[in-house]
Amino acid sequence: MGKQRKTWSPELKEQLVLAVLSGEHTIAEAAREYEVSESLIHTWRAQFLEAGRARLQGVRPDAAQKKLEKEVQQLKAIIADKELSLYIAKNPGSLSVDELLACYQELLGDHPKLSLSRFAGEVERPYHVLRDARQNAERSAQRTERRQHVLEEVRLKALEEPLSGYRLIYQALQQDAQQPSPGLHTVRRHMAELKVQRPVPRKKRRPSACPTSIVLWPAGRRVQVDATRLSLPDGICWAYLVLDVESRALLHIEVVRNLSASSAVTALQRGVYVLHHLGIHEQLLIMTDGGSDFTSGAFQAACQELGHWVRAKVSQKGGMGILERLNRTFKYDGVFREELTNIAQLRAFSTKFKNWYNSERRHSSLGYTYPWVKLLAATESSNVA
Give domain status of residue 170, yes or no: yes
Q: pLDDT > 90: what percent of the chain?
A: 32
By DSSP bridging, strand 249-256 and strand 284-288 are: unpaired
Distance CA 372, CA 89 (A): 98
* Tally of structural domains, the chain: 3
Say if 82 falls within a structural domain.
yes
Residue-wise pLDDT tens digits, 324-342? 999 999 999 889 998 899 9
Mean pLDDT of the chain, nearest integer: 83
Any domain includes 186: yes
DSSP, res 200 = P
Predicted TM-score of the model (pTM): 0.50
> CA–CA separation, 145 vs 163, rounded Å?
28
Within a domain: 4 = no
| Residue 166 shares a structural domain with residue 228 | no
* Statement to judge: residues 69 and 134 lie in one domain: no
Residue predicted with more confidence, 22 or 56: 22
DSSP-derived letter for residue 242 is: E
Residue-level pLDDT at 78: 55
C-alpha dist (Å) from residue 375 to 14, 17, 165, 266, 358: 126, 124, 61, 22, 9
CA 167 to chain centre: 21
Boundary of a domain, candidates 43, 71, 90: 90
With residue 20 as reference, give the H or E element that holds it: helix 10-21
With respect to residue 261, please indicate whether it lies within any of the assigned structural domains.
yes
Least confident of 53-62, 97-106, 235-244, 374-383: 53-62
Domain end position, chosen among 66, 90, 114: 90
CATH code at position 358: 3.30.420.10
Query: Which domain, by its residues, includes 23?
Result: 10-90
382 pLDDT higher than 70: no
Residue 291 CA to residue 240 CA, distance in Å, equals 12
Same domain for 54 and 190, yes or no, is no
Look at phi and psi of residue 35 and say left if phi exceeds 0, alpha if psi is from -120 to 50, else beta: left
Measured between alpha carbons, how far is 329 from 335 in angstroms, rounded to an integer?
9
Q: CB of 324 within 8 A of CB of 213?
A: no
* pLDDT band, residue 92 (cuts 50/70/90): very low
Residue 213 belongs to some domain of the structure: no
Residues 250 and 343 in one domain: yes
Residues 268 and 149 in one domain: no
Q: Which residues, including other chains, have CB under 8 Å from residue 283's CB and lie 6 or more apart?
A: 219, 220, 221, 306, 307, 308
Closest CA to 376 of 255, 191, 248, 262: 248
On whether residue 111 sits in a domain, the answer given is no
60 pLDDT band, cuts 50/70/90, is low
